[in-house]
Amino acid sequence: MANTIMVQDITPEQFSSLIQEGIKKQIKDLKRDLLIQKEEDQLLTRAEACKLLKIDSSTLWNWTKKGKVTSYGIVNRRYYKKNELLACLTPVRI
């Protein structure tokens, strides 16, 4: 049995406008989600990672040595994935 929707007391122009508004909202939400995903996937330098976490570079180095955060390298440069740094954060119980 097929689902049916009956539309009454609405002009074709109003119906078209409703559909367009729905599509615009979906596109806006999709763009927002893609921007958020793009921002989380970005690579950060050591300085940017320290600034994001509000820590000293020696703390970042220690966390990297201990395996708490993962660094990625190209030649002698080190990078950190923003989404992985944020994933390392844990809730603190008071």
Beta strand residue intervals within 19-74, DSSP E: 43-45, 72-74
What percent of the chain has a predicted confidence (pLDDT) above 90?
45
Q: Coil, strand, or helix at residue 44?
A: strand
Q: At what angle do helices 57-66 and 46-53 cross, to 10 degrees?
A: 100
| Average pLDDT score over the chain | 87
Average of per-residue pLDDT across 48-71: 95
Average of per-residue pLDDT across 43-51: 95
| Statement: residue 28 has pLDDT above 80 | yes
Give the pLDDT band of residue 52 (cuts 50, 70, 90): very high
pTM above 0.75, yes or no: no
Average of per-residue pLDDT across 57-83: 93
